[in-house]
Copies of this chain bind each other. A is one copy, B any other.
Amino acid sequence: MKRTAFFVSDGTGITAETLGEALLAQFEGVEFDFVRLPYVDTEERARDAVARIDAIAARDGERPIVFDTVIDQRLRQILASSHGAMFDIFSTFLAPLEQAIGAPSTFSVGRVHDPHSGLYHARIEAVHYAMSNDDGASGSDYSKADVILVGVSRSGKTPSCIYLAMQFGVHAANYPITDDDLQSTRLPPALARYQDRLFGLTIDPSRLAEIREQRRPGSRYASLRQCEDEVRQVEAMLRRHHVPHLNSTRMSVEEIATRILMEKRLRGRKG
């Protein structure tokens, strides 16, 4: 059973897509094709959107599901003339929100991504920070870090740092534990001053070996033996120095980032 879902917006459509995908994920037996239609901000584009929705309705023999966050009343009326099943996200919530808040809404478009806001600049600045403080890059400036992720190579540090920066504006650096570091019972010298900012990522050795095998097939680096040794030693180091940590094996970056914010009591620049 296959259905098509549209995300229609006068902006980027990312809000409609995020909510729509979360809702449709609750329908496990159904496979969905997703189509995002951003910048539907003129009558002509609204009519184009209707034509695309109706073409899919004719092809599938089923009504497409349409999530929309279009603000303009006229455009929403045009969209409502399609054969899709419409889920009008803003209309659904704005009227009861106006009541709860006791103020009218302004129906301003896209203010959430305002590139001139301080929050937006903080996120972009944090992305640049994460890029230049990745993998113990030379000149890493840990003094500006909100959190420093430590773990073996390919335990998920880099995407987690990038997500923390892009989504939350958090300054996240990372440091790959090397064989040299594991020879000592001390923390690596570069980290010793920042012990309270450390957070460890560990991973099941078998999963780590799979990931590394894709990167360097047949290497010692990717061997299960090597992965087991590294993970065991890193976990011992994290425990010895009381560094909070989690096993990332079955977690997404969204989950890892959320757990780190909770553990380190960080609110993010957005909060």
Contacts and interface: CB of A to CB of B under 8 A. Distances in A.
Contacts of A271: 34-36
A3 B163 contact: no
B94 A23 contact: yes
Interface in A98-133: 100-101, 103, 105-108, 110-116, 120, 124, 127-128, 131
Contacts of A120: 252
Contacts of A93: 19, 23, 87, 92
A162 to B, nearest CB: 6
A28 B101 CA distance: 12
Contacts of A131: 131, 134, 158, 162
Interface residues of A toward B: which range?
35 or more
Nearest to A128: B158
Contact of A113 (B12, B85, B116, B254): B254
A151 interface: no
A246 interface: no
A258 B14 CA distance: 9
A87 B99 CA distance: 12
A192 interface: no
B254 A108 contact: no
Contacts of A14: 18, 167, 254, 258
Contact of A1 (B3, B13, B103, B257): B103
Contacts of A13: 258
A65 B19 contact: no
B158 A127 contact: yes
B108 A97 contact: no
Contacts of A114: 252
Given A252-B113, A252-B120, A19 B101 contact: no
A39 interface: yes
A21 interface: yes
B90 A26 contact: yes
A36 B163 CA distance: 16
A50 interface: no
Given A19-B15, A124-B253, A26 B258 contact: no
A250 interface: yes
A89 interface: yes
A27 B258 contact: no
Which are the 4 A-B pairs with shortest beta-carbon distances?
A: A85-B100, A26-B105, A113-B252, A25-B111
